[in-house]
Structure 1
Amino acid sequence: MNRKVLALLVPALLVAGAANAAEIYNKNGNKLDLYGKVDGLRYFSDNAGDDGDQSYARIGFKGETQINDMLTGYGQWEYNIKVNTTEGEGANSWTRLGFAGLKFGEYGSFDYGRNYGVIYDIEAWTDALPEFGGDTYTQTDVYMLGRTNGVATYRNTDFFGLVEGLNFALQYQGNNEDPGAGEGTTNGSDADSGSRKLARENGDGFGMSTSYDFDFGLSLGAAYSSSDRTDNQVTRGYGDGHH
């Protein structure tokens, strides 16, 4: 498929990212950052489904609260708004991220909500471009490959402070087969019935990732996940009961 892209990035507040976020509040151990962007984006493609205006705006908040010397609460919410639709057209905005958790010093962190699956921990290394990065298997609301619902995640950096550069994560995902779930109009739901597409349903599952950062700029990592199929998937012959 022949496809060309014209992209114009216009920072709405500051470019997304913790290092470039606009600090709204920082007092007495409580901190709130705001980030966002507007992306003027157009695809030129022979595929009618891809060709055309793909512009969007994005905004997010990151917050922390210092509970005591060892315990910190944190959360993040990120929202996406399509700006290539007509006024009154439905399903043109959605929540990308929404989770809250606790950090326990060198003992790691635990959070729950809509977040990235642990498989993305490794795939994120190739998802560095403004557009088309990490396209090999990044899919939203498909098990633990990308952004997804209902994930409980434990993360540990530098292996409890004992091994610098050794990081790992453990993740559990609950069953997701509710109607209307998923990002956007067609990303997670059937346009006719409003129900979640079979490929974007998931049963209970778990995953893990690990990485080691060498002191000369090289990192090695691996990730694994396994999930049950939903009853709908099994009934309709979608796989053998596991993913």
Structure 2
Amino acid sequence: MKTRKDQFSFKLCCLTILSILTTSATNAAIVYDKDGNTVDVSGKLIAKGKYAFSGDNSHKDAGFAGVNVNGQTKIDDDLTGYGFWEYRAYQNTAAYGQATETRQAFAGVKSKSVGSIDYGRSNGILYDAESFTDVAPSHSAMTWGGNYNDNFMTSRANSVLTYRSPKSAGPAKGLNYGVQYQSKNEYGDVKTSNGTGIGISLGYDIGNGISLIGAYSDSNRTHDQKADGLGDKAQAWASGIKYDNTKIYLATVYAQTQNTTRTGSSGSAGFAKQTENFEAIAQYKFDSGFRPSLGYVQTRGKDLAASGTFTGGDADLAKFAEVGVAYFFNPKFKVYADYYFNLLDKDSTYVRSVGGMNGSADVLALNASYYF
């Protein structure tokens, strides 16, 4: 068993490696380039505070340092091997309790004519759709997709084999698709475990800044997950459309999930039998560097289990408006303020008994970000 001192030493070692990589990347994005092999480093340093406004107001530090390492090796004229690692270290608690995590880590091969295939920890295929609206300064991807990691194929996930199509030409120009297979993962926690699953996504860039996306996943549930009586499968589908002309950004996503979405203020109140989700966001980028953002999100649970004074049925799991503004001093440094207007009915029996997905308070996020 590792002692507290051993755990601290391990984290210190990780942070030292992070520091070395960060220092190198500050001077040059490409840290190695020889004989067809390249390694480049990028990342960000984030100072962030979240202020919740409810019966008793609270503040939480949410800052972190993140680093990305991307490597490639030329195999032949068409084939390239690659690997990617994304690491993050948080500073939201006292030193001994600070967390670190590998967010993504995968390796694979890619071909201009065939496409790419990789395996490891990476974004689930359903995030292809959720990414359309996950562009708010802070408050987006907070319900069915992106809110919890290791939630089948809705966000970052382990043990995924992912194929991505090459760029299409001719009549199929603008068409892209992906196929993903996920192996079974049992972590002793029903919230983060999953059975084997498969997912697909299909996107089409129409042109003039307009893009369409659709994604679907079908996963087996583990033995422990099926103990809730909701069935053998966890399924989800999503569709979205966006318009992006570099200045104006408009996007909307609609999704449905079955036995997939975690409920309660901490995601520990079981899976929702079914959810319907609607998201929309609008942004405008001024030449001065200001980028205001306005979003709306609603996730409604269907045929929910009874709990406390909630007798079961339908209820809003999350409902909020996002209003924020970011200011880019230059491509390397920005600040933002983003406000989460919680629109849940705080007096409803569901919110009182189970809690909203993101609580029931309004939240202000303030941030300063440096990118390298």
Looking at structure 1, the residues matched to 127 and 135 of structure 2 have their Cα atoms a distance apart, in angstroms, of: 12
Residues 238 and 58 from structure 1, CA distance in 2 versus in 1: closer, same or farther, beyond 3 angstroms? farther
148-157 vs 128-137, greater mean Cα deviation? 128-137
Whichever structure has more strand as a proportion of its residues is 2
The DSSP-based 3-state class of the residue aligned with 1:88 is helix
Instruction: Report the residue type matching 1:130 in the other structure.
Output: P
- Name the residue aligned to 2:242: none
Matched, 1:109 2:101: no
When the two structures are aligned, how many residues end up with a matched partner? 208
Instruction: Report the residue type matching 2:116 in the other structure.
Output: S
- Name the residue aligned to 1:38: 45
- Name the residue aligned to 2:149: 140
Instruction: Report the residue type matching 1:55 in the other structure.
Output: G
Matched, 1:82 2:90: yes
Within the candidate set 31, 35, 41, 1:28 is matched to 35
Looking at structure 2, the residues matched to 28 and 218 of structure 1 have their Cα atoms a distance apart, in angstroms, of: 40
Looking at structure 2, the residues matched to 30 and 51 of structure 1 have their Cα atoms a distance apart, in angstroms, of: 46
Unaligned runs of 5+ in 1: 1-11, 179-194
Percent identity over paired residues: 38
After TM superposition, list the pairs within 5 Å mapping 1:62-211 onto structure 2: 62-89=70-97, 92-137=99-144, 138=146, 139-159=148-168, 163-178=172-187, 195-196=188-189, 198-211=190-203
TM-score normalised by L of structure 2: 0.52
43-52 vs 23-32, greater mean Cα deviation? 43-52
Deviation at residue 57 of structure 1 after TM alignment: 1.0
**Of the two, which has the highest radius of gyration?**
2
- Name the residue aligned to 1:55: 63
Per-residue CA distance 1:209-230 (angstroms, 9 max, x = gap): 0100022110011000000000
The DSSP-based 3-state class of the residue aligned with 1:73 is strand
Deviation at residue 78 of structure 1 after TM alignment: 0.7
Deviation at residue 105 of structure 1 after TM alignment: 2.0
- Name the residue aligned to 1:239: 230
Deviation at residue 160 of structure 1 after TM alignment: 7.5
Matched, 1:226 2:234: no
Looking at structure 2, the residues matched to 41 and 133 of structure 1 have their Cα atoms a distance apart, in angstroms, of: 16
Deviation at residue 144 of structure 1 after TM alignment: 0.4
Residues 205 and 161 from structure 1, CA distance in 2 versus in 1: closer, same or farther, beyond 3 angstroms? farther
Deviation at residue 30 of structure 1 after TM alignment: 1.1
Could you say what the CA RMSD is over the residues aligned between the two structures, in angstroms?
2.4
TM-score normalised by L of structure 1: 0.79
The DSSP-based 3-state class of the residue aligned with 1:24 is strand
Unaligned runs of 5+ in 2: 1-20, 235-372
Looking at structure 2, the residues matched to 242 and 224 of structure 1 have their Cα atoms a distance apart, in angstroms, of: 13
Deviation at residue 162 of structure 1 after TM alignment: 6.5
Deviation at residue 55 of structure 1 after TM alignment: 1.2
Within the candidate set 209, 212, 219, 2:204 is matched to 212
Looking at structure 2, the residues matched to 218 and 157 of structure 1 have their Cα atoms a distance apart, in angstroms, of: 20
Deviation at residue 163 of structure 1 after TM alignment: 2.0
Residues 161 and 168 from structure 1, CA distance in 2 versus in 1: closer, same or farther, beyond 3 angstroms? farther
Residues 128 and 199 from structure 1, CA distance in 2 versus in 1: closer, same or farther, beyond 3 angstroms? same
